[in-house]
Amino acid sequence: MSNGISNLIQADLASLTNAAQNLATQTVAPAAQFGAGDAQPAFSFAQSMKDAVHKVNDADANAAQQMSDVDSGKSDDLVGAMLSSQEASLSFSMLMQVRNKVMGAVDELIKLPL
């Protein structure tokens, strides 16, 4: 199991490294940088957060459904249901930590003198 997680982390690291190298080699026109063009931004923090919240919500709903199936006797995969429940719990905890970090960063930005 740890090898699988290790491989996923290494794949994510490689993907992020490639993306960073691509960003470093791109040149952006100054007008496009401030939204003067009609092109949509490639990255939206708000959309990323919405996607993360939806993923966590889906994981929670899936875990609840699996636990409900085990409780009603439709399924006897108790281990799978418990793992799904723990994954949903960890996902929610991680989302709350990200939220707290973002709110802390916003508070720091508000406190900056102009």
21-63 confidence digits (pLDDT tens): 777 777 655 555 555 555 565 778 888 889 999 999 999 999 9
**pLDDT value at position 44?**
84
With CA atoms as reference, report the closest residue to 39 among 51, 49, 29, 24: 29
Distances in whole angstroms, Cα of residue 98 to Cα of each of 22, 48, 101, 102: 26, 12, 5, 6
**pLDDT value at position 23?**
74
pTM: 0.57
Give the start-to-end residue ranges of the domains of the chain. 47-114
